[in-house]
Chain A
Amino acid sequence: DIQMTQSPSTLSASVRDRITITCRASQSISNWLAWYQQKPGKAPKLLIYKASSLESGVPSRFSGSGSGTEFTLTISSLQPDDFATYYCQYYYNYLVAFGHGTKVEIK
């Protein structure tokens, strides 16, 4: 099994801060990585796919980068609506797995 390590588990930040969340895979997954945002009581929302492609309708302050084993999600200027939990998700050899999540909270 591929192990996915997401960090940090919690991140305290202020509005307009630039933040970065990282996911590391135990072996190469090419660019088959997606990022999601989840708010309490809601279903997750796809933000980024294939490591760096922005899903339609997602604000451009969200960006993704990386390939192989290391990936990052960056929010360039945190907005009040962005305080939520973020997950990475990989797809490899017909299997899917999520990272453990990063809760972004207000400092």
Chain B
Amino acid sequence: QLQLQESGPGLVKPSETLSLTCTVSGGSISSSSFYWGWIRRPPGKGLEWIANIYYSGSTSYNPSLKSPVTISVDTSRNQFSLKLTSVTAADTAVYYCARFSRAYSYGFDYWGQGSLVTVSS
């Protein structure tokens, strides 16, 4: 059974960099059928897609995001990562990593449990 697990600091100071890693187990991140993505849910708000990455390193980003974002992949560790720089309180959210089916459902079919990140001094 595929599992995804987010890891990273739960508290980040304003203007600093938020870094999260998603570890995939029970399957290969190098599958040609999937993208790997990050989604967040700020408190009291809805879901917001952040970015997707393919195992080859091809990326797509939400053009509406205000904080600069970088998504990367490490196929040797079966992990992908997210960095948001110059964060503000508006980046406080539960961050989810998920698998996106690019060849079948065009939806996120497996999700991590979520990681709460608070931006505060």
Are chains A and B native binding partners rather than an unrelated pairing?
yes
Interface residues of A (CB under 8 A from B): 1, 32, 34, 36, 38, 43-46, 49-50, 53, 55, 85, 87, 89, 91, 94-101
B105 within 8 A of A: yes
Using known A-B contacts A43-B114, A100-B46, determine if residue A95 contacts B62 with beta carbons closer than 8 Å. yes
Contact A101 B106 (CB under 8 A): no
Q: A89-B49, A96-B37 are in contact. List 17 more A-B contacts (CB 8 A).
A: A1-B63, A34-B106, A43-B111, A43-B112, A44-B96, A44-B111, A50-B106, A53-B105, A55-B107, A87-B47, A89-B108, A91-B107, A95-B62, A96-B62, A96-B100, A98-B48, A101-B46
Show 28 residue pairs from A and B whose CB-CB distance is below 8 angstroms, ordered by the A residue: A1-B64, A32-B106, A34-B106, A34-B107, A36-B108, A43-B98, A43-B114, A44-B47, A44-B111, A46-B107, A49-B101, A49-B104, A49-B107, A55-B105, A89-B47, A89-B49, A89-B107, A89-B108, A91-B100, A95-B63, A96-B37, A96-B49, A96-B52, A96-B62, A96-B100, A99-B46, A100-B46, A101-B46
